Structure formats: C-alpha cells, structure tokens
Chain A
Amino acid sequence: MGIINKFLGRDLVGSKDVAKERLRLVLIHDRTDISPVMMEALKADLIAVISEHLEIDQAGIEISLTENRGLSRLQATIPIVRRRVRG
C-alpha cells in the first residue's frame, strides 16, 4: 500500500489522523480544566519541593497532561543532576 501511495504521491497520513491527535490533546485540557497558569504554578511548586531533596535540572523539566483509558494523568519528567551529600 505504501508503495502505491508513494507512487501516486499521496500523503501517507490522512488528515483524520491529524484531527484525531489534535482533538485528543485539546480534550485532555478541556476535561481537566487545568489552565496554563495553574500548570506553571504547579511546576514552580514541584521544583521547590523536589529541590529540597534533590538537585534537579530545572530547564529540563517537562509537565504534561496525558490520558489513558479514560483516566487523565499528570506526567512530570524531572531530570536529576545528582544527589546532594547529606550533612
């Protein structure tokens, strides 16, 4: 199929796949009603709490909402630089 599509110069991905992915993302935010401002505040608080225990790469932090089987979840990727030496 791919070969035929290429031969005909067609896009391999129909626009409905784009529509579906965009809808999925926008609905995660609609359903949880978490504003970008709240996400930023959450990120700042997370940094403050975790920094008390670990040294983290603040520029590398990523916080996002995802959805899986009807459950929304907050996903945070927080790169750790190194563990602090305890005093």
Chain B
Amino acid sequence: MKYIDEYRKKDLILSVSEKLKSISTKAIVLMEVCGGHTMAIHRFGLLSLLPPTIRLISGPGCPVCVSSQLFIDTAMAYSKVPGVIVTTYGDLIRVPGSTTSLEKERASGGDIRIIYSVLESLGIAKKNPDKSVIFLGIGFETTAPATAAAILQAKRENITNFFVLSAHKVMPPVMEALVKEGVIIDGFIAPGHVSAITGTAIYNDLASVFGLGVVVSGFEPVDMMQSVLMLAVQIESGKSKVEVQYQRVVNSEGNKIAQQMLNEVFELRDDRWRGLGLIAKSGLKIRDNLSSFDAEKHFTVEVPESSEPKGCICGQILRGLKTPVDCGLFGKKCTPSEPVGACMVSGEGTCATYFKYRS
C-alpha cells in the first residue's frame, strides 16, 4: 500500500534504531497521546528497538477510554428509548457501561447500528423520518470535524431527526494538565492526524512555557522511530521545540476548512475525562444556535449512578503513571473478551494493545 509499505521497511527502521542508540545518553521519558501510536508501537515491536535510556509511555490517547462513564451510560439509555436509532463507530459497541453495553442492548432489541462514516447516520435519518437518529460523537480533533460537517449538512438539508451526543474532546489541555500535575514527561510524541487538522501552533506552549519538546509523528514504524530520534536529539542538545516528523501530511497551518467548521459548530467546555477528572476547556459542545441537533437538549434519560469498576486502574494508566501489567485485573478478570475497564475494550486502549501484542 502506497505511503504505508515504504515506512515499514526493516532496513530503514533498524537504521534509525541504530542512530538512536548511538546518540542517546540521558534517561528520558517520552509520552504519546494517541491510540494509533500506542497500537503502532506494540504491533511493530518498537520497544525492543529503543535504547535502555528511552522509555515510552502511553497517555490518554484513546477517545473511547477517556469518555466518561456518564456518556457511555447516556448512550445506552438512548438506545432504550422507543423510536430511537443509535448510530456509532464500531469502537463503542462493546464498551461496558455501569450496567450494560451497546452490544447487549442490541441483543435485547435496541436499534443500534455501526457506521464507518457519520454521513451514513444522516442517510439513516433520511430513510427513517419517523425515527430519531442519534449519533455518538466520540473522537478528538481528527474526528470532530466530520461530526461538524454532518451537522451543517443536516442543517442545509433541513433534516430534523438527526441528533448528536457529543463527547468530542481536544488534546492540548490534557497534555498540559498532565505536565502541571507533575507526571514525569521529557517530551511528547504528538498525534499525527489530530495535527493534520489543527496545525502545530497548539503545541507551542508545551515547548516554550513548559520546556518540553514536541514532535508530531506519523503512524508507521519508521515514522515513530524517527520521531523518537528527533525528540532525543532535542533533549540531548537541551532544546525544546515543536517539530513535524509527519511532513507528508502535517503542516503548521493544518486544515483551515475543518478548523472553521469546528468553530462554527462547537464551542469549548470543561469536560470530564475518565480517570483524569474535569479538565478546563477540553470538550466540544454543540453551540446553542445549533441546539436542534444536540441530543442532550432533546432527550431526557435516566442514567444509573456512575460507578467505576472495582480494582480498575484505568485512570492511572491513562495518565501514564502505571502500565497495564501493574493492574491486578489485567489478563485475569479483565481481558478483551471480558473487559472490565474501557482501556481494555477499545481496540486501541492501552490495556487492549498490551494484551494483544504481548510477547
């Protein structure tokens, strides 16, 4: 596959690995904050290619994992409302809520449909004018523009039975929150596709105010190794700046059209991140003038008292303070087939990734 295979070539990967080993002297901790990066690191066995001085930790990069229990429980409650069709990305279907899951609700007769594109939800709304179609909006800045585009399209076409429950979030506030909290991080590997949308200015404060290097990385093994190298070079020379490794897709400006749409449809609000608590201005709420598309404004549902599963340390894992192997439930009570916490259910959750790619 073009623009993929070339970045998986073994000789290129090993070459970067060698260079990394030759320049790295300081013990450093680098954090990635993207489920796609977590997956890539483990799928391609990159940890074994790093020098012992460099430790890679995973942060809150999985949108499903950081969505609050309240959001998940609300989604399940919607599926029980008569006349509602819930549409969702596949990632959410098996996430455990406090008492049930979308998959279980589907088995009990809830009309829950997995879609690949939010535009399919619009299509379903048009085909079922007598039903209400609720789309579960999860994802960071990579995915939120698609939701924004769908809402604007719905407005243009006067579709009145399409609604969005937004759990969309933005990255920079949580990155800063972790640093302010005192999590030991020497540099960030920044999410490549979020940055393709946002551009790179959003990371400037991390470099200039907090003195942390940020390298925007692609997702293939060569990309990730090169990003680690770029960060190591920065840190070894005492610099901290924002650099782009993923130059074939990311530029400093980002995607202006997408940014504009995000701005038109959403506004920032304080948002609860599972395991991390409330983070200021980190969530996307549908603006009041588009509230006719906001599921929260239209559907009142009763949601069980949110409870975190006993023994689950997803919160600490999401902060990069612990790894899955530190969790007493990991691989025993909590496995991909019987997940307890969200980090295990989502395909790109840290725990699911560790489990799938364990060696």
Asked if chains A and B come from one complex, the reply is: no
